[in-house]
Chains A and B, each alone.
Chain A
Amino acid sequence: GAVVSQHPSWVICKSGTSVKIECRSLDFQATTMFWYRQFPKQSLMLMATSNEGSKATYEQGVEKDKFLINHASLTLSTLTVTSAHPEDSSFYICSARGAGAEGYTFGSGTRLTVV
């Protein structure tokens, strides 16, 4: 079945630095990529949606200059958390969908801790 590989699975970074998270679709073309984050005891919340070759569409309240999304190819999307702060510490997970597909394939998530 469809697989999305997400790396890293966890990362600790210093406040003020940037962190890049990658999601690769291994056996299908991800025309649309969704990025979510989850704070403790809360649901997965959509941050942004990106289509290959287009600018991402961000949800209300998500800063596009802070969370940079690149979806330059049909198999790779990246989320860069710029100038990270402790309040950005969260669980980030991507989900990909191919053209005409009914379902969504998730990565395994990245636990980000900013110290």
Chain B
Amino acid sequence: ILNVEQSPQSLHVQEGDSTNFTCSFPSSNFYALHWYRWETAKSPEALFVMTLNGDEKKKGRISATLNTKEGYSYLYIKGSQPEDSATYLCALVSNFGNEKLTFGTGTRLTIIP
């Protein structure tokens, strides 16, 4: 069983502040890492698919980095806005040769206006 961990489980951030959270995974099983943003009662929205060590991807105020050697990825949100409130999930695609996603438990982000 692959262990994908996210921290913190939840956090509250003042509007306008920047924040970041972590996804860690077994580096020996890495093939790709997915980040999703999940608002209540909606479908998880794909943010990034990361495959290369040292990769950095950006989408508006959200960016992510990847370190496959040490087995972690950071998600950064710059200048948080109320609409950023959501649960952020990371999911590992392993090198087992299948397409399965192994999810972390998510980081629940609440932006305080």
Contact = CB atoms under 8 A, between A and B. Distances in A.
Partners in one complex: yes
Interface of A: 4, 6, 9, 32, 34, 36, 41-46, 49, 93, 95, 97, 102-109
Nearest to B89: A44
B43 A108 contact: yes
Contacts of A46: 100-102
A9 B101 contact: no
Contacts of A109: 43
B105 A41 contact: yes
Question: Which of A36, A41, A44, A105 has the most chain B CB atoms inside 10 A of its CB?
Answer: A44
Instruction: Pick the 8 closest A-B CB pairs, nearest first.
Output: A43-B103, A44-B103, A106-B43, A106-B44, A43-B105, A108-B43, A103-B46, A102-B49
Given A4-B43, A49-B100, A106-B43, A43 B4 contact: yes
Contacts of B99: 32, 34, 49, 97
Contacts of A36: 103
Nearest to A32: B99
B79 to A, nearest CB: 25
A109 B91 CA distance: 17
Given A49-B99, A97-B99, A104-B34, A42 B49 contact: no
A44 B100 CA distance: 12
